[in-house]
Amino acid sequence: QQQVKQSPQSLIVQKGGISIINCAYENTAFDYFPWYQQFPGKGPALLIAIRPDVSEKKEGRFTISFNKSAKQFSLHIMDSQPGDSATYFCAARGGSEKLVFGKGTKLTVNP
């Protein structure tokens, strides 16, 4: 059973546009929600993370929105750039659960 469901599987955005990736979870024990960015040939790298005591966290052009009641969280990339083209993974952990990942979203930002 997939603990974190991520959508869409792929996303194409024009330069300057907003990229939005969504994730949903079931386990209410989860209390930490990171996003990872992976470029081809590289391992995933932590991009930004949020805890459920806040509804939004912003770091530069990257924002996480968190909806605890709906058990959903999303990544927004403002002013998307070709250099943002990568695969993005949402993840969650909490309680006795190890870090679990969504299946990833391949983002392509066209110039």
Partner 1 sequence: KAGVTQTPRYLIKTRGQQVTLSCSPISGHRSVSWYQQTPGQGLQFLFEYFSETQRNKGNFPGRFSGRQFSNSRSEMNVSTLELGDSALYLCASSLLGTMNTEAFFGQGTRLTVV
Q: Closer to partner 1 at the Cβ: 30 or 66? A: 30
Angstrom distance (rounded) from CA 98 to CA 109: 32
Minimum CB separation of residue 28 from partner 1 in Å reads: 16
Minimum CB separation of residue 19 from partner 1 in Å reads: 19
Q: Closer to partner 1 at the Cβ: 43 or 60? A: 43
Selection from 62, 72, 69 nearest residue 23 by Cα = 72
Q: Closer to partner 1 at the Cβ: 53 or 111? A: 53
Q: What's the one-letter identity of residue 16?
A: G
Angstrom distance (rounded) from CA 100 to CA 79: 29
DSSP letter at 83 equals G
Minimum CB separation of residue 16 from partner 1 in Å reads: 29
Q: Closer to partner 1 at the Cβ: 18 or 46? A: 46
Contact set with partner 1 (CB under 8 A): 34, 36, 41-46, 89, 93, 96-104
Minimum CB separation of residue 79 from partner 1 in Å reads: 27
30: Cα separation from own chain's centroid: 15
User: What is the CB neighbour count within 10 angstroms for residue 16?
Assistant: 11
